[in-house]
Chains A and B, each alone.
Chain A
Amino acid sequence: MSEASATASFRSLPVRPILLAIAVLVAIAVAIFAGGKVIAQQMVSGLMLGSIYMTVAVAFTLTIGVLNFLNFTIPTLFMLTGMVAWGVLSRGYLSVAGGWGWLLALLIGIAVAVVASLIVERFTFRYLKTRHGDATEHAIPLVSSLGFLLIFEHLVLIALGSEAQRFPVPFKADLYAFGLVIGLPQLASLLLALGIVATLTYVLKRTRMGRALRTIAESPDTASLLGVDVARIVPVVFILTGLLSGVAAALFTVNYGDVSPFMGEHIGTKAIAAMVLGGLGSVWGAVAGGLLVGLAETLSIHFLGGDSVQMVVWGLLLVVIILRPQGLFGASAIGKAKL
């Protein structure tokens, strides 16, 4: 009995996040000593950017982990939030909100992403409801999610134009610590993103719904046998997907101030790289991968110039998957969901 409870307390320690935090702090410390403040500053920016990749990567990994489905609409959901927020704000619909218009606009953008994600669910996962048993025909949702990607993108192009736009960020606040400049909105983004991921991990590991989702991830058939209404829970995954993509886009918009109908593609490819790097179906893997891709991006811009980013990120990915096909944090069996 005492042996069992000792194991329990060990297992409930959040080992991975702690390791991750230590690794990040050590890396920054080493960078300050070895490369000076310039490098450390690049690393801080990389982590901030990485927090956005990480949130989108978690959205990808959640649908892969639970539904075994690479959801191609995630980049569009990201873009929808930014463009809708810019649209409602720039047309003055939110003047009643006064100085808080930007926040209201972003919340509306996130809501639109969630609704759009639910629409995708209706038309990509509907078939799960009509036929019992497991969803083996992955190509159907995959292809229809690609269809949605294009439809949403072109709806936005028609409604809001193809230009990149400036989203007015009403504040600029920087924090100075250890001689580094840390943007407060960026720091808030990192903390918010980490908070969301930690909450999601908690829900998956500790709640009734989380157990049901992990059971579906392993076998929809068994879940159904145990009384889980698979068709009723699948929309929850899509709501979370919309929420994660939307929040990531809101953080991106506040931090960088640019939106465009194509903003999702850039983020989407990086997030997919981050997810594979971290390990398919592993939430903390997506976190590690996202931060790593962010770091790789800013450091390669610093050392090698802007054109090198894609080569460095995807080169890193290829090296990792050749050495460790399951990714940094992935389960030992490739493709076996382990949320």
Chain B
Amino acid sequence: MTTKIRELLAKHGALPVSVETLADTADLYEAGLSSFASVQLMLALEDAFDVEFPETLLNRKSFASIAAIRDAVASLTEEPVA
């Protein structure tokens, strides 16, 4: 799941830095994730994992790091966190 998230982040995150340089816990907003890009990323995640983020997950915290995104997506899928 983390690999897929990283792939989508690279494609939709519009980050000024390479995703490979970011640790799973790195702050994505500090890395330059804009609110527009975060929405594009959410859409891509919804599509890739066939989930819909509920209102409770649509906040800055849920998308603050790769690890946070993994937790958010995992909470919506049966897939164990890997």
Q: Do A and B assemble together? A: no
